[in-house]
């Protein structure tokens, strides 16, 4: 039989009997300590962008993070794009905002979806994702875990062409190959070239096909039951806006 004890720690005030050290344990400062340590260390975030050429991937990345990661990019001709194989290119930049440091890694996939035959063109991408998982597992299993670099892909923005009538076979194949490994956020690229009614119909068609093929895309997590009402309302608004504005 066990007995649960609950002890409330408090700071002693002048005139109170007892020693301060005996009445104050110190765990109340743990959140502040974790916050300071996290801010000092900084955060790692790896974002993958995928989709055929010309859909505005680099433009969106530049707009999101206010930095140009493609200064030395070489534009290929149509003939070169057709014969190009899928590559994995990493661009890393350190961003600091209000004292918080972020090591941003953009994983680009030039050549994806540009060939005449796109059968399993996502294979190099899935291999890369698996390699990052394996490397992180090896580092976590090692003796020196102090300076582990987390290069796992945390999110993938997948760009869908606005000129079709829904998902193409290559779109379905890519998302089904990665949806259990990476948080996938599908985007309708260059949506401003469509009128609102066309965007609405295309989004509805894509949602239906995502459900039909059993593809799991990223969803906002549910709020905890003990969250306050203001936070729950913000969560509901974010989910509502996401359903309406999954375009770029």
Measure Cα distances from 92 to 44, 64, 106, 125, 179 in Å. 10, 15, 6, 18, 24
Q: Is the pLDDT higher at 29 or at 83?
A: 29
Residue 18 in this model has a pLDDT that exceeds 60: no
Residue 63 falls inside a structural domain: yes
Domain housing 38 = 29-71+78-120+152-216
Query: Which one, of 78, 79, 90, lies nearest residue 54 by Cα?
Result: 78
pLDDT tens digits, residue range 182-231?
999 999 998 888 898 999 899 999 999 999 999 999 888 777 777 788 88
pLDDT tens digits, residue range 149-169?
888 999 999 999 998 888 999
Q: How many domains does the chain have?
A: 1
The CB-based long-range contact list for 6-11 (8 Å cut-off, 24+ gap) reads none
Residue 91 falls inside a structural domain: yes
The confidence score (pLDDT) of residue 85 equals 65
Give the 3-state secondary structure percentages of the chain, helix then strand then coil, rounded to 5.
Answer: 40, 15, 45
Query: Which one, of 179, 172, 156, lies nearest residue 47 by Cα?
Result: 156
pLDDT tens digits, residue range 99-138?
888 888 999 988 888 777 788 889 999 999 999 999 999 8
- Gap between the Cα atoms of 88 and 130, Å rounded: 13
Q: What is the mean pLDDT of the chain?
A: 80
Query: What CATH code is carried by the domain that includes residue 49?
Result: 3.40.50.300
Residue in the structure block whose two tokens are 């079709």: 164
Residue 24 falls inside a structural domain: no
Residue 237 falls inside a structural domain: no
The confidence score (pLDDT) of residue 178 equals 94
Residue 223 falls inside a structural domain: no
pLDDT tens digits, residue range 73-103?
666 565 655 556 688 888 888 888 888 888 8
Structure tokens at 77: 């001709």
Q: Would you give the DSSP letter of residue 126?
A: H
């Amino acid at each position: 039989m066990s007995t649960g004890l609950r002890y409330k720690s408090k700071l002693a005030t002048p005139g109170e009997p007892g020693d301060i050290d005996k009445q104050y344990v110190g765990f109340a400062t743990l959140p502040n300590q974790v916050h300071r340590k996290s801010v000092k260390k900084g955060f790692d975030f790896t974002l993958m962008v995928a989709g055929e050429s010309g859909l505005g991937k680099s433009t969106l990345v530049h707009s999101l993070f206010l930095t140009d990661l493609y200064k030395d990019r070489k534009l290929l001709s149509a003939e070169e794009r057709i014969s190009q194989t899928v590559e994995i290119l990493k661009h890393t930049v350190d961003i600091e905002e209000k004292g918080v440091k972020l090591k941003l890694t953009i994983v680009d996939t030039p050549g994806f979806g540009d060939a005449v035959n796109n059968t399993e063109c996502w294979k190099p991408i899935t291999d890369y994702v698996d390699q990052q998982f394996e490397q992180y597992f090896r580092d976590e299993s090692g003796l020196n875990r102090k300076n582990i670099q987390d290069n796992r892909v945390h999110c993938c923005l997948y760009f869908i062409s606005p000129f079709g009538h829904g998902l193409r076979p290559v779109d379905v194949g890519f998302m089904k190959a990665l949806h259990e490994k990476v948080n996938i956020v599908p985007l309708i690229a260059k949506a401003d070239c469509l009128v609102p009614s066309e965007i609405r119909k295309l989004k509805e068609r894509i949602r239906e096909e995502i459900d039909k093929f059993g593809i799991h895309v990223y969803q906002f997590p549910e709020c905890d039951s003990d969250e306050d009402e203001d936070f729950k309302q913000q969560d509901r608004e974010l989910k509502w806006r996401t359903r309406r504005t999954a375009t770029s």
